[in-house]
C-alpha cells in the first residue's frame, strides 16, 4: 500500500525529515494526508519533533500537493539535488514548524 517514515532525524534540532510513497491504486483518497497528520501529531505531542521537512522532486506534483495540503511551506528549491533514473533532478524543500 505505502510507506510513511522519517528518512533522518536531528535530535538536537528536533527536526524530522519525512519520506513517503503510496501505491498508485490508493492515491487520491486522502490516505497519505490522514496518516501524515497523525504521524506529526504523535511526535509533536511527545515533544520529540518540532520541525518537519519534506523533500520531493519538482516534477512530482502529487508529492508537492501532499506537502502543501498538509500545511507545509515551500522553503526553497535544491538544484539537481537527487539522482534518479540516470539524471539529477531539482528538489523542492518544504517545512512545517510546531511550537512546543
- DSSP letter assigned to residue 99: -
Residue 1 has pLDDT above 90, yes or no: no
Residue 100 has pLDDT above 90, yes or no: no
Q: Where are the domains of the chain?
A: 2-97
**So what's the pLDDT on residue 25?**
82
The answer to whether 64 and 72 are in contact (CB under 8 A) is no
**So what's the pLDDT on residue 26?**
86
Long-range CB contacts for residues 40-45, cutoff 8 Å, separation at least 24: 40/70, 40/96, 40/98, 43/16, 44/98, 44/100
- Model pTM score: 0.93
CATH superfamily of the domain spanning 2-97: Gcn5-related N-acetyltransferase (GNAT) (3.40.630.30)
Q: What is the spatial distance between Cα 43 and Cα 64, in angstroms, rounded to a whole number?
A: 22
Q: What percent of the chain shows pLDDT beyond 70?
A: 100
Q: What is the pLDDT of residues 21-35, one digit of tens each?
A: 988 888 888 899 999
Amino acid at each position: 500500500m505505502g510507506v510513511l517514515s522519517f528518512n533522518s532525524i536531528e535530535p538536537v534540532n528536533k527536526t524530522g525529515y519525512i519520506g513517503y510513497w503510496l501505491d498508485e491504486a490508493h492515491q487520491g483518497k486522502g490516505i497519505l494526508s490522514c496518516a501524515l497528520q497523525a504521524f506529526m501529531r504523535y511526535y509533536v505531542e511527545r515533544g520529540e519533533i518540532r520541525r518537519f521537512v519534506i523533500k520531493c522532486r519538482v516534477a512530482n506534483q502529487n508529492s508537492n500537493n501532499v506537502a502543501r495540503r498538509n500545511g507545509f511551506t515551500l522553503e526553497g528549491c535544491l538544484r539537481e539535488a537527487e539522482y534518479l533514473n540516470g539524471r539529477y533532478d531539482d528538489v523542492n524543500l518544504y517545512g512545517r514548524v510546531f511550537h512546543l
